[in-house]
Amino acid sequence: MRSRTQRAPLGLKLAAAAGLAFLHLPLLLIFLYAFTTEEKSYQFPPPGLTAKWFAVAWGRDDIWQALSLSVQVAAISTLIAMLLGTLAAGAVARSRFFGRETVSLLIILPIALPGIITGIALRSAFSLAEIPFSFWTIVLGHATFCVVVVYNNAVARLRRASGSLIEASMDLGADGFQTFRLVILPNMATALLAGGMLAFALSFDEVIVTTFTAGQQSTLPIWMLTELVRPRQRPVTNVVAVFVIAVTFIPILAAYYLTREGQHSGGEGK
């Protein structure tokens, strides 16, 4: 008997369309005001359209400095997260020990807590340890929640992987490192790649934790937050926002396509 695909009711379709409009219309306004001719206020409709603000943003050294800092922080935070998140996932997924679920909860906790709580806690810890605020304090702050993203993807993949593959590898004479490199890593590669992309995107546009750990340095999101209170050249901020949307959207989209199939869904339950 051929199954029929039920069509969604009209009310449900309208509700879905309204939800999408609520989420994405503000993003479209950012794109629109990146081309406005008005420097100091937001008029709708814009009095005119121009692309000159892209050239202005390109020539601003402060933007490039903030962008460079954000990329460096995101890259190093992602590398730390991939290392620690993978090791933690391997311990939780492949070992049985007292308090395992508690350990898993504690690993996930930083991303579940409000960012301001994490920021205050990190700032207090750095102050008590007399660690000066620098590039590395930002990296450590970002790594706390980037680890969670990688861990979630890796532990989900490891829990679905067959233990017989590892046993077969060991029976055939492979040592632990060879088993990890030739059996475990290929099976979880897409999950790690997706987790790394998501971690990079989260780190790149993070504001709250960065505010408490950056000191006098300015990442790109912090630069944008500062520029919003200035009345001059507001379209430049929207140009930078368009760039941030593109930078964060691409890895998130790639991570979605890498993990959208059921057997490759490394982040279920996040």
4 or 177: which leads in pLDDT: 177
Ramachandran region of residue 194, left (φ > 0), alpha (ψ -120 to 50) or beta?
Answer: alpha
Distance from C-alpha of 7 to C-alpha of 29, rounded to nearest angstrom: 32
User: If DSSP states are collapsed to H, E and C, what string results for 92-130?
Assistant: HHHCCCCCHHHHHHHHHHHHHCCHHHHHHHHHHHHHHCC
pLDDT, one tens digit per residue, over 46-92 is 777 777 788 888 888 888 888 899 999 999 999 998 888 888 887 77
pLDDT at 266 over 70: no
Maximum CA extent, the chain: 73
For the chain, domains (ranges, CATH) are: 61-264 (1.10.3720.10)
Alpha helix positions (H), the chain:
10-33, 52-58, 61-94, 100-112, 115-128, 135-160, 163-171, 176-179, 185-204, 208-213, 220-227, 234-259
For range 183-194, the mean pLDDT = 74
Q: pLDDT for 189-245, tens place per residue?
A: 777 788 888 888 888 888 888 888 887 888 888 888 887 776 566 778 888 888 878
Give the model's confidence band at 265: pLDDT under 50 very low, under 70 low, under 90 confident, else very high.
very low
How far is Cα of residue 59 from the mean position of the Cα atoms in its chain? 28
Mean pLDDT of 87-113: 77
Average pLDDT, the chain: 77
